[in-house]
Structure 1
């Protein structure tokens, strides 16, 4: 499975990075979900606690603040039919206080799911996160 999506935002790249580059804080995109931040910088884990589910561990593998890019894995608690998951997020300036968010992931579909079906599930999850990001940024 290999998925790449992008979304344009009518906000300055620095403002969008202030939100996305704070890996341990996803309250903007996951309201009501308890998040434990374990460690700092590359190697840190954000552990998501969602009702009725095992915790989900998302591990920051690399981050480059100057390039506005980071990557992460989900080694434990992946709620979707995917193993060996690795995602990369990168921001691109479009000038005039606009930017583009590139969000991609690779992984292996599990069970009866095809790579295409797994990518479709992830596409929906990413679209929700990007919608939440836009709503958060629009609030001020």
Structure 2
């Protein structure tokens, strides 16, 4: 099993960051390469569309509002991996005056090396977190 992760410091309170990213259907609010998200199964499954028309279907596996984190798995995607599970979390730093956002995932590469799959998801996480930080830029 391979692993990828990225983190970023955001100059906003953890509650403000969680307010933006904490909803399982909120990716279009901060992630430019996911312009649409549709919920089904009582809000536990999201169907995402990319600008290129790719479809990604994900299932919410765990949600903790108090700890500001959620985990999800991929049910369908154009990625060369299986068994994908990811966690997005927000932690207070600097006495609660800033937030650290961590995005990590575990997966089994399918048809590519561990390094290629890890590089793919680290890029997705890193670019996504940069876009999130831009949402809070003055």
Normalization by structure 1: what TM-score?
0.87
Corresponding residue of 1:25: 26
2:110 matched to which residue of 1? 110
1:34 aligns with 2:33: no
Per-residue CA deviations over 1:14-63 (Å, capped at 9, x if unaligned) read 0110111111121121367222111445xx11101235545210111110
Matches within 5 A, 1:55-74: 55-74=55-74
**Structure with the largest fraction of helix:** 2
Partner of 1:83: 82
- Show structure 2 runs of 5+ residues with no match: none
Aligned to 2:6: 5
Residue number in structure 2 paired with 1:121 = 120
- Give distance in 2, aligned partners of 1:14 and 1:109: 35
**Aligned-partner SS, 1:30:** coil
Partner Cα distance (2:26, 2:42) in 1: 12
Backbone CA RMSD of aligned residues: 1.8
Higher relative contact order at CA 8 Å, sep ≥6: structure 1 or structure 2? 2
TM-score when scaled to structure 2?
Answer: 0.88
Q: How many matched pairs? A: 135
Q: SS where residue 37 of structure 2 aligns?
A: strand
**5+ long unaligned stretches in structure 1:** none
The 1:81/1:5 distance shift into structure 2, 3 A limit, reads same
